Structure 1
């Protein structure tokens, strides 16, 4: 059966959705099994059954499955009450079929146990006990109220042996179905636990980022005042006659001014990233202008040769997000540390998303690093504090609704970020 889980389904409702889908699949098997059993009993053993009524019950089960599939495809919330109602309807259908075919004398009466076991796994405690009470009451009523089966004389002599064979078939059927579906239900529950564990891990990582951001913001505030003082002092020095008459000394002061201005720009970027009002507001730009500038400025500042390929196509207006810029710079810094000589950068478009691939010709990533992709301090360097670059890039990418992937090439590695344009588009796409 094709997957009917809507992509927008909340994580907390995935297990209920999958368990309801398992009930639908079990119901299809029940319809097919009952149809085969009814036809075999009627045609092979010449035992006359109320065919119209029994086929009507099967038709009701088919309609119930249709309604269940509509609910699943629409993303309806599958609660404990919904699952309880579905199992009660299955019990009612089984009770009707048993009433029409000998009641409690029918060896397939043990199928009630299948409903009880499924209820104990899928439902809350009170609902499970309610299902126990309902099935026990149904069994008791079927011992008194049922339509007896008229058996041909040829079968009357071997009735007990036939009953034993029916019980064996019922036991085998219940055992197989329990193993199939209870194991799948447990797998659904384990998958839900894994998703919640991933969410908790992401929350811890994001809390770690917040702490880093707070420390960086505090340091930026502390550095702002002395940097401003240094800038004023160097400006005064530059105008002093003793320095203006010495070209070499003047050049040193100008170099110091440039470095101070660079430090102030870094501090401004940190404050802007943390949402501090002292940071400058984001400006409008375009994909091509933004990434061309980031790569060019980085190459000039590091004095590195970068092979840059722009295959984005028609340009799109976006916001000049400092956090995104810093993420790209981190990717370039990581590539520069790993590269033997060459760094390749490719900007492209994949549908309504941009992709940026940064490659190097270094040693590539070890297997254990690939397994821990996006986790903090995942680095091949022995020094403490390394390994935050890809961690920060991964979290920025995830916050923007994108993905990060890493592959090892014949020589070196390539890191690709994929970002939906809708998350960074300004509204005027420039077309």
Structure 2
């Protein structure tokens, strides 16, 4: 059974709308059940039920449910303030109370306290406890008690339930009526149990799924805020440190020239080292700002997997060491995303793999389709990572190279980018064997429907192969 998907500006709003959604579905089931019971008991078993009266009350329930369902459709594409959840809560309370009154009316016309379906008062008690806050739930419980007390004393008797037997009624008639009542109790308890278990389990499943969705949204928002803060910090650092670094570089250059003019080679070399290190600091700041910023501001574009992979690999200094292994269904798959940021992310992963692999060893890039995703595996032939290193590999500013060849941002920004696209970033490593970086990229919807089944992959190719 599908779950409801709502725009979720607020967790409580989304939860209460989901409660109302499932209550509407349960009420349609109740309408169907009531019509079925009237037909089976009244027509099939010959019990003298006031069918028109009972079906009229059922019609009122169906009418109110149709109005509620129309309101739910209007809610789907709207965002509400936090106070909206209170109005939805009171709506649910009013609907449950209305249903208690309708149940009381149905029991009044069909035997009252002796009707086996009086047990459905407990269904409404459970609904109130599950869907409503404590105060309103107790109100529903009190209403159920009052309703049952009313039909306990005032009701339309049914002869088949033991009402109005003639004085000379024999034991056979009495036994028949008792059997009818006992069988009715069995059916009522079974139906009430099925309704309760189905409703509560489905609602719990939907709420757990909604909580997971909200948790993912919060995590993604936290990552985005972290990335924006990182970009702002990097840009600010580059700006604030740019002027003093420029002054130091100019001064070092003048010292280098003056030392060379005076023949002080040692001083000249020291000044040259200072100038080179200053330039290196400026490049580091520029690259941090660029890496953190370009991934945030780029608009998404549509790219095709095979030509995009070949273009990315061709830009690497050691492109001949990269082998492409593309499954047929993955070659023409299309992805919507920031092309520059995706290319930078994959190049960063490939550079890491090439640096980790011994000289002369190749790095494999394997692409395949799995449902609505393209799976890219970058496999190196290095020494692998220790468990503690693997656990921190995609943390920001974590690096094992001491800043000489990187700043510990590549894998972190790659993970953030893929999560923002709705994909995944996974790392696995075995010491002594190597590391596999998996990029899971979502395909466009029309490609998912048209994707052929995976059969076999093409032979590994280098970027220059046809």
TM-score tier by shorter-chain length is 0.5 to 0.7
Question: Who is 2:379 aligned against?
Answer: 360
Is contact 1:355-1:419 (8 Å) kept? yes
Q: Which residue of 2 aligns with 1:415?
A: 438
Distance 1:267 1:382, change over 3 A: closer
* Unaligned ranges ≥5, structure 2: 445-466
Corresponding position of 1:110: 119
| 2:439 match: secondary structure | strand
1:74-109 superposed Cα distances (whole Å, 9 cap, x missing partner): 444772123223323322332232122122231211
Give SS of 1:359's match.
Answer: strand
* Structure 1 Cα separation of the partners of residues 128 and 335 of structure 2: 56
Distance across 2 between alignment mates of 1:135 and 1:176? 20
Residues 8-407 of structure 1: pairs in structure 2 closer than 5 A: 8-10=7-9, 12=11, 13-76=13-76, 79-151=88-160, 155-198=173-216, 201=219, 216=234, 220=238, 223-225=241-243, 227-233=245-251, 235-236=253-254, 242=260, 261=279, 263-271=281-289, 299-300=316-317, 305=321, 327=345, 330-339=348-357, 341-343=361-363, 357=376, 359-362=378-381, 376=395, 389-399=410-420, 401-406=421-426
Would you say the 8 A contact 1:338–1:360 is kept in 2?
A: no
Contact 2:393–2:399 (CA under 8 A) maintained in structure 1: no
Contact 2:349 2:378 in 1 (8 A): no
Indicate the SS of the match to 1:171. Answer: helix
Task: Give the drift of 1:38.
Answer: 1.8
- Spell out, residue by residue over 1:152-192, the C-alpha distance to the aligned partner (whole angstroms, 9 max, x if none): 97745543443233233323332333233223333344444
- CA distance in 2: counterparts of 1:174 and 1:283, whole angstroms: 56
In the comparison of the two structures, how many residue pairs are matched?
402
Rate the CA distance shift 1:364–1:109 in 2: closer, same or farther, 3 A: farther
Summarize the Cα distance change of 1:230–1:354 in structure 2 as closer, same or farther, 3 Å threshold.
farther
* Residues 47 and 412 (structure 1), Cα distance of their counterparts in 2 relative to 1, 3 Å cut: same
SS of 1:40's equivalent?
Answer: helix
What is the CA distance between 1:199 and its match in structure 2? 5.1
* Alpha-carbon contact 2:418-2:425 (below 8 Å) kept: no
Distance 1:202 1:135 in 2: 45
Change (3 A) 1:365 1:141: farther
CA distance in 2: counterparts of 1:94 and 1:169, whole angstroms: 17
Q: 1:18 to 1:49 in 2, by over 3 A?
A: same
Over aligned residue pairs, what C-alpha RMSD do you find? Answer: 5.6
Contact residue 49 and residue 101 of structure 1 kept, 8 A: yes
Q: How far did 1:326 drift?
A: 6.1
Q: For the residues of structure 2 that align with 1:372 and 1:99, how far apart are their CA atoms?
A: 67
- Secondary structure in structure 1 of the residue aligned to 2:156: coil
Q: Label 1:80 to 1:39 Cα distance change in 2 as closer, same or farther (>3 A).
A: same
Q: Which ranges in structure 1 are unaligned for 5 or more consecutive residues?
A: 422-431
Q: Is the 8 A contact 2:424 2:441 kept in 1?
A: yes
What TM-score comes out, normalization by structure 2 length? 0.63
1: CA distance between counterparts of 2:336 and 2:396? 35
Report how far residue 307 of structure 1 moved: 6.2
Partners of 2:38 and 2:179 lie apart in 1 by 19
In 1: Cα distance, 2:375 partner to 2:271 partner? 39
| C-alpha displacement of 1:419 | 8.1
Counterpart Cα distance in 1 of 2:203 and 2:299: 50
Secondary structure of the corresponding residue to residue 378 of structure 2: strand
Partner SS, residue 49 of structure 2: coil
1:207 CA drift (Å): 6.5
**CA shift for structure 1 position 51:** 1.8
Contact (CA 8 Å) 1:404, 1:416: kept in 2 or not? yes
Structure 1 length as normaliser, TM-score? 0.67
**Contact map agreement 1:11 1:195 (CA 8 A) in 2:** no
- Which secondary structure does the structure 2 equivalent of 1:143 belong to? helix
